[in-house]
Chain A
Amino acid sequence: GAGVSQTPSNKVTEKGKYVELRCDPISGHTALYWYRQSLGQGPEFLIYFQGTGAADDSGLPNDRFFAVRPEGSVSTLKIQRTERGDSAVYLCASSTFESGELFFGEGSRLTVL
């Protein structure tokens, strides 16, 4: 596809359940980022991958959050034992890193009941 693709676009789950959110970056982009955006707020950095490795995971709020990018392309954000406070739009972005411009997907809206 031409842009960053995120699935699912919407996810409703119950408190305590496990959730996976997928990001398919722009082809050829080596850098991939996950952000979280709460209603009325700016995106909040979670984690950044350069290739397959997490270059910076300092934004992950706790050990219930984990992200992987095993082949250096598609990434999955995994949230265990979801809590109502995890409800937000999870944004994925990719870049060539050298350019500095992040291309964002439309996000996955997570609602924890």
Chain B
Amino acid sequence: QQQVKQSPQSLIVQKGGISIINCAYENTAFDYFPWYQQFPGKGPALLIAIRPDVSEKKEGRFTISFNKSAKQFSLHIMDSQPGDSATYFCAASPNTGKLIFGQGTTLQVKP
């Protein structure tokens, strides 16, 4: 019940394309769903986050779509750029502290 399942494990997208990463969770007590971006040798950094009272949140080229009934949420990166190449982690939390992370998706954006 504590797991967050993330797919795909890796993703290759052409520059200008849309990158989509999906996550699913089981614990209905989760009420905070962030996405973190991690570059090699660095710690994860918050990209965008959503709470279950909304179905979508957009910040620039990044959008979270949230489906509470299906217990799924996804990250969409519009107009993907080579600088977006990184590992992305979804996460979930029953409060704002103890995050449960997905397994990660390695995104490569080809120029």
Where the two chains meet, the residues of A that have a C-beta atom closer than 8 Å to any C-beta of B are 4, 31, 33, 40-45, 48, 50, 55-56, 59, 91, 93, 95, 97-107
A100 & B41 in contact (Cβ 8 Å cutoff): no
Chain B interface residue count: which class? Answer: 20 to 34
| 8 A–B pairs (Cβ distance < 8 Å), ordered by A | A40-B104, A43-B44, A43-B99, A97-B97, A100-B96, A103-B45, A106-B41, A106-B42
Q: CB within 8 A of A95: which of B41, B96, B100, B101?
A: B96
- B98 near A: Cβ within 8 Å? yes
* B62 at the A interface (CB under 8 A): no
The answer to whether B49 and A101 touch across the interface, beta carbons within 8 angstroms, is yes
User: In the complex, what's the smallest C-beta–C-beta distance from A107 to chain B, in angstroms?
Assistant: 6
Min C-beta distance of B73 to chain A, whole Å? 15
By a CB distance below 8 angstroms, the chain B residues around A59 are 98
